Structure 1
Amino acid sequence: EVEEERLFLPSDLTPAERIELQLGKLGTEEARWREGQAFDALRAIRSIVKTIRTLRDRKEKNDRKQKENSRAGDQISDAVRRRDFRMTTYEAARQAMIPLESLTPGPDSAFPPLSVADTFMKSVVKKRQL
Structure 2
Amino acid sequence: MTIRTLRTCLAVAMLLLTAAAPLAAEDQPAAKGKAARAPKAPAAGLRTKGKLKPVDINGAAKNELSFMLGIPEELAAKIIAGRPYHSKAHLLTRNIVSPEVYARIKDKVVAKQSGAIR
Same fold (TM over 0.5): no
TM category, shorter: under 0.3
Higher-RCO chain (CA-CA 8 Å, sequence separation at least 6): 1
Which protein is richer in strand relative to its size?
2
Q: If the length of structure 1 is used for normalisation, what is the TM-score? A: 0.25
- Rg (Cα) greater in structure: 2
Output the TM-score relative to the length of structure 2. Answer: 0.27
